[in-house]
Amino acid sequence: MTEALGFQPLATPDPLDLQRISVKILTDAPRTLDLNPFLVIFARWRTDTSQWVDLADYAHMPAGPGIVLVGRLCNFSFDLGSEAPGVLYTSKKGLDGTTEERLQSVLRSGFEMARVLASEKEFPAEARLRPGALELTFNDRLDTPNTEATDRLLRPAVWSVLDRLMGPGAYQGRPEVDPARRYGFSIRADHPPSLDELRARLKS
C-alpha cells in the first residue's frame, strides 16, 4: 500500500554500527627487520595534518606494534605482532552502509595505502607483501566479542566479501577461537593474487 502511494519501505538497518575494523597484509619480512625506513616514510606522510595527528615508534618492542601512523579516521602501521610482520590498516570511524560495504571499504583503503607504501623508495625489499595472506579483525570487544553470537551475525558478510575478493572456495578462513582475543579471521588464498588484482575486485 505504501509503495502504491509513492513511499519506499525503509531499509532494514544493520544491527551493528561497525567502525573499528582492521586488515593486515602479511609480508616476508623477518621480525628483526630494521624499521627506520618506515619512520622516514611515515614522518613524511605525517606532514599532512588534515589526515594524520601523530607518529609512534614501538620498534624496541619484540613482536609489538612497530611504527604507527595515527590518523583522524584510521591508523596505519608496519606491525610486528601476530603470525608475521605486515602492513596494518585500522579504521576508527567514518564507515557507513551495510556490514559488507564497511568491510569492502576497509579492505579497499588498506590495499590502496599498502600499494602507496610499497611504492616508496625507502620501502625495504625484504618486506615483500603477501596479498594472499590477510588478517581481518574486529576491534570493538563490546559490540563484537569473540562469541558464537557474533560469529552467526558477522560471518555471512565476511564470507560474502571474501568470496568476491578471493573467489568462492579459493581460500581458507581460520577463525580466532580464543574468546579472550578479538573476533577475526586469518585468511589464506589458494592461489595468491596480486595486490592490484585484489584492488580491482573491490572497485565499485
- Of 9-23, 133-147, 165-179, least confident by mean pLDDT is 9-23
CB 55 within 8 A of CB 43: yes
Q: Is the pLDDT of residue 21 over 80?
A: yes
Q: Is the pLDDT of residue 204 over 70?
A: no
CB 160 within 8 A of CB 109: no
Partners of 79 in beta bridges: 86
pLDDT of residue 203: 83
- Residue whose grid cell is 597484509: 25
For 129-159, write each residue's pLDDT tens digit: 999 999 999 999 999 999 999 999 999 999 9
H helix and E strand count, the chain: 4, 8
For residue 173, give the nearest of 197, 154, 145 by alpha carbon: 154
Please report which confidence band the pLDDT of residue 164 belongs to, taking 50, 70 and 90 as the band edges: very high
- Of 1-10, 142-151, 181-190, 195-204, least confident by mean pLDDT is 1-10
For 30-66, write each residue's pLDDT tens digit: 999 999 999 999 999 999 999 999 999 999 998 899 9
pLDDT of residue 16: 83
For residue 127, give the nearest of 12, 58, 32 by alpha carbon: 32
Q: What is the pTM of this model?
A: 0.91
User: What is the rounded CA–CA span in Å between residue 69 and residue 56?
Assistant: 7
CB 65 within 8 A of CB 56: yes
The number of CA neighbours under 13 Å toward the Cβ of 148 is 0
Q: What does the pLDDT average to over 113-124?
A: 98
